[in-house]
Chains A and B, each alone.
Chain A
C-alpha cells in the first residue's frame, strides 16, 4: 500500500489539535517546501508517518494507543502548527 493525502488524517489531527488542520500550511524544515497539510504524504505503518511531497523528509509522526496520541512534529515548521513544533507533545484522550 502506498501513501494517501494529508487530508486523510484530518480526524486524527482534530483529535490531537482540536482542529483538523488540513487547511493549515506547513513548511518542511529539510527542504523548505511549503504545502497544505492536506497535500502532504501520509503513510500508515505501525503509526502514521507524514512526509514532505517535495523531498520525502518525515514531517510528523503519530502513534495512537491507550486512548492517547504520541505526536512528533520535528520535521515541520508550520504556521498553523507552529506553537507545537518544539519537542514532543503528549496529548491525552485522543481516542
Chain B
C-alpha cells in the first residue's frame, strides 16, 4: 500500500498531463495532446450493416439503420473533452447527429435516459443534458470515420459531462421516468459527472 496523501514528488517528473491557465481546464484536470484509449471491455467492431440505433420509451420505439442514421442532418462541432481519469483534451473535432435531431422523431414525455452500447456498457443522463445542442451521436472524428477504439462506428458525445457519459459503441437510448444509474454510476462514479463541479465519485 502506498503511504497516505498526495505522494512524494518525483524530481523532474512531468508526465503527460500539464496545467493550463486559460480557464478552460476544469479543476483537477491536466491537459493532454494524446487521445488515450480507455475501454471497459473488448472493442466490438460491429459491421455497419448490422448496426442500428434505437430510441425506446416513447409511444413507439424508433430505430434507424446506419444508412437512415447517416441520412439525418449532421453537424461538425469542436469541443473540449474531460475524462474522469484527469486528462482533458481541447478542440476535438467531431461529426455527428444532434440528439435533438433524433428526438424530433420520438414522441415522449420522460425525464431520464440510459444510453446503452455494444458490449453491455450503460450510462445514465437527464434528458435535458442530451438536448438543447449539448449532445450528439458522433460518427466522425478529426475528419475521419470514428475508429473502433474510440467508439466507432458511433459513440455518444456529451462533452459538458465527464467523458464516461459519452458512451462508446452506442446503440440506443432508453427514455425513462426514473433515473437508472449505469455501469459506473452504480459503483463509485458520480451519478451526474459535471467536471466543473468536480463530480467524480459518489459523495462529490
**Interface residue ranges, A against B (CB under 8 Å):** 1-3, 14-15, 43-47, 49, 51, 56, 58, 61, 63, 65-67, 70-72, 88, 95
Contacts and interface: CB of A to CB of B under 8 A. Distances in A.
A5 to B, nearest CB: 15
Contacts of A65: 188, 200-201
B39 A45 contact: yes
9 contacts: A44-B39, A47-B184, A47-B187, A63-B187, A65-B188, A67-B4, A71-B187, A95-B1, A95-B2
Interface of B is mostly: loop
Contacts of A70: 187-188, 201-202
Contact of A1 (B37, B85, B201): B37
A66 B201 contact: yes
B23 interface: no
Nearest to A51: B41
Contact of B41 (A47, A56, A71, A72): A56
Contacts, number: 61
Contacts of B41: 43, 49, 51, 56, 58
A49 B202 CA distance: 18
Given A66-B201, A66-B203, A47 B188 contact: yes
A63 B203 CA distance: 14
A58 B11 CA distance: 39
A56 B41 CA distance: 8
A43 B187 contact: no
A45 B200 CA distance: 14
B65 interface: no
B42 A3 contact: yes
Contacts of A51: 41
